[in-house]
Amino acid sequence: MHIDTISALGFSIRVGTTPVREPRRPLLLFNGIGASIEFVEPFTEAMQREGIPSVVFDIPGVGGSEKTLKPYRFSGLAKLAASVLNERNIHGSVDVLGVSWGGALAQQFAKDFPDRCNKLVLAATSTGAIMVPGRLEAILKMVSPRRYIDPEFMTYWAGHLYGGDLRDKPSLAELLLRGTAPPSRTGYFMQLLAGTGWTSIHWLHRIHQPVLVMTGQHDPLVPPINGRILAALLPNAKLVEVNCGHLFLLTRADEVAAIIDSFLRDAPATANADPVISS
């Protein structure tokens, strides 16, 4: 992954891109709460093997992006994402993927910038404040960014937090954290604040792009019924349940990348985008 820092809407934003040999429509990826670019690299590498370039950026206050003391909402972050694409000279429509907290931002981006969103992938996410909650023990651990800061804490609690493969092999958590940059406490709080009271449940019917909804069958944070609700409310959605927990994008990266590649290779939803990231 090529990582550099750009200016977007007055913020210094750290952006990662993966090149591919043949031009393909890029996949704009919105990460989970507190996660820096490096955290999702197992997945972007798997997508790269499928021939799909990815674009991912650190939210203000996370990883290497500039901190902000000014609260923001998902609508503001959607505008920031559009600006990041423009600054990277990526025009036309892109495919969009959001995981967990980033799934809410992906829904907002698809609503606010329909001409820039060709297809949408929602992974381990929900409609926001109106959802079927996960296990209280897991949710309470998410209030703090400690799991990104304390490797021993992450290894001990990974199975309880994320379920699936991490319950069987908690040592995987240490590998996932390797090379990641922890969020600032202020940045993490701002992300929590951005999602407070947010819900898409009343406007999901307005998202007409093809949507792939993916859920983990053993997800303690976002129970799979939330994916079924999303798929039921979206006009053009397909549901896939993965035999894993919350972080199936990372622990089952190759398997999931193949599913997403098949979905994205179907007939395009909009006119072809301009030439995209290539080596």
**Which residues are registered as beta bridge partners of 57?**
15
CA angle 69, 189, 39 (to 5 degrees): 110
SS3 category, 53: coil
Give the phi and the psi of residue 148 in degrees, each rounded to 5: -85, -20
Q: How far apart are alpha carbons 239 and 13 in whole angstroms? A: 33
Q: Which residue has the tokens 């994320």?
A: 162
Q: How many CA atoms lie within 13 A of 246 on its CB side?
A: 28
User: What letter would DSSP give residue 180?
Assistant: P
Catalytic residue (one of 36, 65, 93, 100): 100
Whether 54 is catalytic is no
DSSP E strand boundaries for 18-113: 27-30, 54-57, 94-99
Sheet of 211-216, strands arranged across: 2-8, 11-17, 54-57, 27-30, 94-99, 117-123, 211-216, 237-242
Residues with active-site annotation: 100
